[in-house]
Structure formats: C-alpha cells, structure tokens
A and B are shown apart, each in its own frame.
Chain A
C-alpha cells in the first residue's frame, strides 16, 4: 500500500488537519532534528527548534507551492532557524562547544583505544569541521540532497555547492592527516 505523499499531507495541513500534521511530523522530525543538532550542538535547543520548524509548516502550509520536495522545504526552514539561534547565542558558548568538538582527550583510555579505529576517527573529524562544511556534507551524504536541492536549502549557486563540498572534504582529509590518517587525498 502506498503511503500518502508529503505533498498530499501538506494540502491537508493547509485545511487544518492535525492528523496530517502528526503524520508529517512522525515522518520527518528525526532527520530534521539531527540536521539542526549538528548545527547548534545542543539537544534542548534542537528540540525547541524542530517544534518551531513544524509550527511554521502548520502556519504556512497553504503557501507551499510544491516546487521542491517537502523535505527540502523543511530543511530550509530548519537551517534558517538554526542559524538564527546560533546568532543569538553568546560567542563564548560557541567557542567552548567548538573546542569540545575538536578536543583530543588523549588521557581518556577509551578514546585512546578508539583512536586506533579509523571509522571513529573519521566521525570525530566530521564533527570537527566548520558549521558550513558540516552542513553541506550532511545534506549530501545523510539527507541525500541533490546539487540543486542543496543550493536551494543553503541559498548559494550550484557551482558554489560543488566547490564548498570539495573544500569540506579537503578539510576533512587535512584533519585526518593531523590525526595520523593518510588517505592519499588531498
């Protein structure tokens, strides 16, 4: 049996159908949450933001024109809200979080063991990337967004999407190199 499409759900939400809202929320909230969490790095903030994202959907469903996928629309709203929340946060808090993300707790034996694991190191370096690079890598690899869709979500030209992804991957390679992993590229 075919599930109701996101577009049909949005149409129903536009008429005030709360059940359709529940279905859409159940379908997308985890991915939207993870996207936001990777940007704001705070679970409580991320939870608050996804409520806001879906509340915007409730309010604006009748303006959705279907030019892009609903998931792309959701991520666009989520990104805008995450960046607005980041701008409101004190800089000191941001610096501490960034430092924590790339910190090398070498005195922790568990982490020391983990360092031998290449997979864990790649994930650690993915976390240590700048917000700009984290965002684009997540959108392409995890949220399966095409070049055009990333361009729409981030609000940049398609060629810039390609170069930003390239430099994001390059930076990842440099971080891995600093951790002792030589991949032969870049």
Chain B
C-alpha cells in the first residue's frame, strides 16, 4: 500500500515538476506560456540548467541515431502505387466547392500573369460565344443547343460558361435565385447545372434558361442539355 502511494506521489511530482517539460523545451514544442516558465526556471536554477544540457545532448544523439537509419528503397513506393492502381479511386467525392476550386486555381498565378490571362481569356470567350451563338441560331433557333446527354433522374440540365468577371459569390447567388445547382465541371471551362423544377414543358424550361442567359454579367453562355 505504501509502495503504491509512494509511486503515485512520485508520478504526481514528475507531472508537476518543471523538469518534466525540459525535453519539449529543447525540441521547441512547448506552448509559449510553458516555454516562458521553463526559461524563468532555467535562469534561476543552476542544477536544472545542467540537466537541461543532458536533455540537449540526448536530443542531438536521438536525431543523429534516426538520421543514420537510412531511407526505404523504391520498393515501398512501387508497392504502394501498385496497390493504389489496383484499387478504384476513393468512393466518396467531396462536396463541390466552386469558390474553393477557383481560389486554389487563382492562387497559383502571379498578379501580372493573372491580368494577361484574364485579358486573353476574355477575348477567347467572346469569340467562342459569338461562334457558338451563331451555331445555335442557325441550327436551333433561340431555344437551345444540344450537347451530349447526361445520365440523370430529375430536373433539367444545361451547360454553362460563367463570365470571367463573375465572382464566386455572384455565381452562388445566381444559382440560388434560379433554384439551380452545379452538378459537374469544370470541363474546358464549362459547368453543368441542374434546374430543380420538374414537369415543365420544354418551352418553359427554355424560357427559364434564356432568362438566365440574359444575366450576362454572370453567365457567358447557356446551352440546354437534352
């Protein structure tokens, strides 16, 4: 019983003792408050400072020991990627985050590069829009342009190219206002959106998409998917 009490007391002493924090202080992984406590204690306690030197010695030798362990051969990586190849991609696809994707993409460019790219992209988009628009008028009148079918259940679908100047906030507001959601993309700058309303005649659906296209500040191009 006494032995157990002594052990418990010893453990408590260690937990409370500032000396127990020395290894983390040496490794630089203490929080600021504890690091300051240790620094203050070291400054006023010569014996503790000597023990801290032992800790630093152990730290250096542990690093050296680990660094001499070498590295795994290429076999480890080959085995891993062979196993990955043998598997399908992870099943769950994270939720579609347009603003995150745009932000991540844009973050990779310098401001000057972005400026040049935006100008070039705007010109290309204008030309594309004109060409596709003329095709639409020639072939289908003003109601829509057929692209590949998408396997779906409910709702109506359209392929959209958003205007280069449209912000993520504006796109989100636009989708919400039209009860639409993004379901795929970007593929070559095009997104697929789904209109939540169902059971409407084709003409009505076409009108809704036309109305959406009229919001040119946000939408560069809409083509109904049938």
Contact = CB atoms under 8 A, between A and B. Distances in A.
B97 to A, nearest CB: 9
Interface string B87-108: 1011011100000000010000
A172 B54 CA distance: 11
A25 B27 contact: no
A38 B95 CA distance: 40
B84 interface: yes
A129 B70 CA distance: 20
Interface residues of B, number: 46
A30 interface: yes
A137 B84 CA distance: 33
Contact of B20 (A22, A54, A165): A165
B214 to A, nearest CB: 34
A34 B27 contact: no
Given A51-B76, A141-B58, A159-B15, A126 B65 contact: yes
A162 B14 contact: yes
A127 interface: yes
A46 B72 contact: yes
Contacts, number: 131
Interface string B46-69: 000011001101110111111001
A46 to B, nearest CB: 7
A182 B86 CA distance: 56
A142 B62 contact: yes
B80 interface: yes
B66 A34 contact: yes
Contact of A119 (B19, B59, B61, B69): B61
Contact of A183 (B19, B54, B73, B77): B54
B92 to A, nearest CB: 5
A51 B79 contact: yes
Interface string A31-75: 001100110000100111011001100110110000000000000
A144 B80 contact: no
A14 B90 contact: yes
B139 to A, nearest CB: 36
- By secondary structure, the A interface counts as helix
A122 B29 CA distance: 23
B11 A163 contact: yes
Contact of B69 (A34, A55, A58): A34
A78 interface: no
Contacts of B19: 166
B133 interface: no
B140 interface: no
Contacts of A55: 80, 83-84
Q: Which of B15, B27, B62 lies at the interface centre, i.e. has the most chain A CB atoms within 10 A of its CB? A: B62
A30 B80 contact: no
B7 to A, nearest CB: 10
Contacts of A146: 24, 29-31
B54 to A, nearest CB: 6
B71 interface: yes
Given A18-B81, A47-B79, 6 more contacts: A15-B93, A33-B76, A34-B66, A55-B84, A126-B62, A127-B65
Q: Give the 6 A-B residue pairs with the shortest CB-CB distance, closest first.
A: A16-B89, A141-B62, A51-B79, A122-B61, A51-B80, A146-B29
Interface of A: 8, 11, 13-16, 18, 21-22, 25, 29-30, 33-34, 37-38, 43, 46-48, 50-51, 54-55, 58-59, 61-62, 119, 122-123, 126-127, 137-138, 140-142, 144-147, 149, 159, 162-163, 165-166, 169, 172, 183-185
8 contacts: A14-B90, A54-B80, A137-B62, A144-B27, A144-B28, A149-B29, A162-B14, A172-B58
